[in-house]
Amino acid sequence: MVPMRDGVRLATDVYIPIVAGEAPYNSPAPSALQRQQRRRGGGNNGNGCNDGDDRRAAWPPLPGLIERAISLRDDPLGGVLVRRNSTYQPRRRYPVILERTPYNKCGESRSEFSVSRPRAARRSDIARHMCRRGYVVVMQDCRGKFASEGTFHKYVDEANDGHDLMAWLVKQPWCDPNKIGTMGFSYDAHVQSALATCRPRGLACMYIDSGGFSNAYHNGIRRGGAFEMKQVTWAHKHALRAARKKGDEELVRALTEKDISEWFRCLPWRRGHSPLTAVPEYEEYLFDEWQEGTFSKYYQQPGMNNEGYYDMFPDVPTAIVGSWQDPYVLSCLTNYVELSRRHESRVTLLMGPWTHGNRSVTYAGNVDFGVQSTLDGNVAEDYLQMRLDWFERWLKNQRNGVDDDSRVRFFLMGGGDGRKDENGRMRHGGRWVHSGCWPPANVVHRVLHLEWRNDVGVGRLSESAPIEEEYAEYIYDPNDPVPTVGGSVTSGQPIMEGGCFDQRVSKGVFVVKPCAPDMPLSLRSDVLVFESDILEHDVAVVGAIEVVLRVSSDCPDTDFTAKLIDLYPPNDDYPEGFAMNVTDGIFRMRYREGWDHESFMSSNLDDKYEITIRPSATANLFKAGHRMRLDVSSSNFPQFDINPNTGEPEGDWRTKRVARNRVHTGGGGGKTTTTTTTECVVSHVCLPVLEIDGLVMDNRPIHL
């Protein structure tokens, strides 16, 4: 157990390699507990791990190497309790690989799988494997999780706790104090960047995968001012998992007495009446997040706002990994841009087409990207080897080709034939692109203007700006929100699933109110559809998208959403075509004058407001023969919380109100908007288009 500055002790496992023929030193005599464990051949080591499980490890011992898993105990020397076999203190110092996690330091990690090893490995498996490569590997349970003491308050303690662990590590006799690397995926990535904001001594490199908040207010907890409901499903899932692991049947019953989907159909909630009431510590931090609607000091803490601390990050090699169907696209791209701009050390970016952590499968949702889309065999041998190569280069100074890789590699989705594959998924295809920077240098901005014709009730996307002003009006009822169908969602099941889907209410899609089976979202009266003409040429959209709208409402507050869609033409497999979601965003009107304060609308439909919706960046090839489509509405639930339209406090409202919302198009006298920096005179979408001469779509990588 490693003590933090406030005295709370965090459970920490250390895996130390033993070199054959090397005699140990400073090895204290085994304790009574150790001797008892040896006689049993394993058992709980008092630090939250069951060593008997080691015999079922997915990673077999390697000949010629003897490995030890060692847990830390409190004594003046940072003494050891051996998990099995004998105590051991090495004669040398080793480079250290560190991972901090709330998911059980010796438990299964769902992202630790590959094409050749489809079964997810445990963190203890990965630690042993890396240990055999000559590293000390340190795994720690986050505060309040599993074997650690204290109370888990999501995100807020990770910077200080990470710093304190680093300060402890550099004092250990087995640690090379200048060679500590960090790794981790998702929350374990968040804690890495949190640690880095404290500029800890000893940090030599980082491997940040699908996380590391650039700004949790804009990406992770809220987006466009709206609250991301994955925070609810994540908390419920992990509270239930912890209760089952402890065998707390009473708590399990309390968490499952009412189905989570029914909770989502009966908003609003309040403290003491929510899906998490049975676990007050979870309910407390959830409502703390939800009710902090403005960009307050809460969101400006280290670990939740890298943007305020980039200058504190040590100048060390940093690998950043993400994916287009992941909720942390903005964080990955912003971290890359800001760190590479500030640092001389190598910073790399890898963006695949995957959902959260699913880098070894070819599909996301109901769309397949081809065998060339996996990390395995296309980017590296596999995920484990890719990380080992990174650490071999920067912790052991081995010239292994890591420096030769392109600094930026991203997957350009699209180019497939649009037919069903053998698993029933639509073949969208794609290929890898190698670049020296992000965004790529040869990106130009193309503006498509929104045009609405009330006489026919149809919306268009056109390069020419409409002369006459029109408006499209719809009714947004918070009791019947537009359902989420795919997108950059994680931790949402069983309520919502991430990835790419035909935009229709198919079986399994969560709805608040029943609707016709398989109904396209475009047929809803509260969804405005704007389509381009049929594309004559392929168009590669690569980068950040902006949707600028002039809007009005008869309510003091409401939301506007925008979703970019790749619209496939009909074929035998999809007689109505396939409307594939590419990216989406949302904007809450009360924050239109600034994220740090609220400003409510006049409720006069003649008062127009200009807003900018920023969907997640993407990389998608819209093929010739397709159309681009933009869907505009006022809800995307349960990905984002519903806006009750009343202006009541965030996360604490009690009533709902039906809104009449308008999107105004045209009225600019035909003046065309050409870039994102010109004054907006009409509603439009600005697309970053990658210009590649002689682009031929096949599976071969593109080198820019």
| pLDDT computed for residue 27 by the predictor | 40
In a domain, 559, yes or no: no
Domain match, 97 and 150 both: yes
365-390 residue pLDDT tens: 999 999 999 999 999 999 999 999 99
Domain match, 204 and 231 both: no
In a domain, 603, yes or no: no
In a domain, 368, yes or no: no
Domain match, 157 and 31 both: yes
Instruction: Tell me: pLDDT of 560 over 50.
Output: yes
Distance CA 573, CA 570 (A): 8
DSSP assignment of 354-406: -STT-TTSSEEBTEE--GGGSSBTTTBS-HHHHHHHHHHHHHS---SSGGGS-
Tokens of 356: 């959260």
Instruction: Tell me: pLDDT of 522 over 70.
Output: yes
Instruction: Tell me: pLDDT of 47 over 60.
Output: no
Backbone angles phi, psi at 16, to 5 degrees: -115, 130
The domain that holds 126 is classified in CATH as 3.40.50
Q: Please give the average per-residue pLDDT across 396-410, as a whole number.
A: 96
| The three-state (H, E, C) secondary structure of 622-642, written as one string | ECCCCEEEEEEECCCECCECC
302-334 residue pLDDT tens: 999 999 999 999 999 999 999 999 999 999 999
Output DSSP code: residue 487: B
Q: Confidence class of residue 669 from pLDDT cuts 50, 70 and 90? A: low
Instruction: Tell me: pLDDT of 144 over 80.
Output: yes
181 bridge partner residues? 97, 205
Domain match, 19 and 91 both: yes
Distance CA 304, CA 299 (A): 6
Question: Last residue of some domain: 292, 320, 342?
Answer: 292
Domain match, 95 and 165 both: yes
In a domain, 623, yes or no: no
In a domain, 54, yes or no: yes
517-556 in b/e burial notation, b at 16+ Cβ within 10 A?
Answer: eeebbbebebbbbbbbeeeeebbbbbbbbbbbbbbbbbbb
Answer yes or no: are the C-beta atoms of 404 and 415 closer than 8 Å.
no
Contacts of 241 (CB under 8 A, 6+ apart): none
82 bridge partner residues? 70
| pLDDT computed for residue 670 by the predictor | 52
In 3D, which of 699, 136, 146 has the Cα closest to residue 429? 699
Domain match, 191 and 245 both: no
Answer yes or no: are the C-beta atoms of 632 and 549 closer than 8 Å.
yes
Backbone angles phi, psi at 217, to 5 degrees: -65, -35
Q: What's the domain range around 45?
A: 2-209+375-405
Q: Confidence class of residue 352 from pLDDT cuts 50, 70 and 90? A: very high
| pLDDT computed for residue 692 by the predictor | 81
In 3D, which of 508, 611, 469, 630 has the Cα closest to residue 553? 611
The rounded radius of gyration (Å) of the Cα atoms in the chain is 26
Q: Please give the average per-residue pLDDT across 37-43, as a whole number.
A: 42
Contacts of 310 (CB under 8 A, 6+ apart): 338, 339, 342
Domain match, 156 and 242 both: no
CA distances from 130 to 1, 17, 282, 551 (A): 22, 9, 34, 55
| pLDDT > 90: percent of the chain | 82
640 CB-contact burial (10 Å; exposed 0-12 / middle 13-18 / buried 19+) = buried
Q: How many domains does the chain have?
A: 2
| pLDDT computed for residue 276 by the predictor | 96
Tokens of 454: 């009330």
Instruction: Tell me: pLDDT of 266 over 60.
Output: yes
Question: Last residue of some domain: 292, 310, 325?
Answer: 292
Domain match, 204 and 88 both: yes
Distance CA 111, CA 181 (A): 19
| pLDDT computed for residue 671 by the predictor | 55
State whether the Cα torsion 160-163-165-167 is positive or negative.
negative
194-216 residue pLDDT tens: 999 999 999 999 999 999 999 99
Instruction: Tell me: pLDDT of 77 over 80.
Output: no
| pLDDT computed for residue 34 by the predictor | 43
The least confident of 141-150, 247-256, 453-462 is: 453-462
Domain match, 39 and 149 both: yes
| pLDDT > 70: percent of the chain | 87
In a domain, 589, yes or no: no
In 3D, which of 306, 286, 305 has the Cα closest to residue 296? 305
In a domain, 86, yes or no: yes
State whether the Cα torsion 113-118-120-123 is positive or negative.
negative
Residue type present at position 700: R
Q: Please give the average per-residue pLDDT across 149-169, as a whole number.
A: 97
Instruction: Tell me: pLDDT of 180 over 50.
Output: yes
Question: Last residue of some domain: 405, 424, 450?
Answer: 405
Q: Please give the average per-residue pLDDT across 670-682, as a whole number.
A: 50
| pLDDT computed for residue 49 by the predictor | 57
CA distances from 413 to 340, 369, 540, 579, 623 (A): 25, 7, 9, 15, 11
| pLDDT computed for residue 45 by the predictor | 46
The mean pLDDT of the chain is 89
Helix-, strand-, coil-residue percentages of the chain, each rounded to 5: 20, 30, 50
Contacts of 259 (CB under 8 A, 6+ apart): none
Domain match, 254 and 147 both: no
Domain match, 277 and 202 both: no
Domain match, 192 and 235 both: no
Instruction: Tell me: pLDDT of 584 over 80.
Output: yes
Cβ-based neighbour number of residue 151 at 10 Å: 12
Helix (H) or strand (E) holding 129: helix 123-131
Tally the C-alpha atoms within 13 A of residue 699's C-alpha that lie toward its C-beta. 8
Distance CA 135, CA 124 (A): 14
- 655: helix, coil or strand? coil
Q: Confidence class of residue 18 from pLDDT cuts 50, 70 and 90? A: confident
| pLDDT computed for residue 696 by the predictor | 60
In a domain, 517, yes or no: no
Instruction: Tell me: pLDDT of 86 over 80.
Output: no
Residue type present at position 535: L
245-258 residue pLDDT tens: 889 999 999 999 99
Residues in the chain: 704
Tokens of 334: 């912003």
Tokens of 276: 């998490």
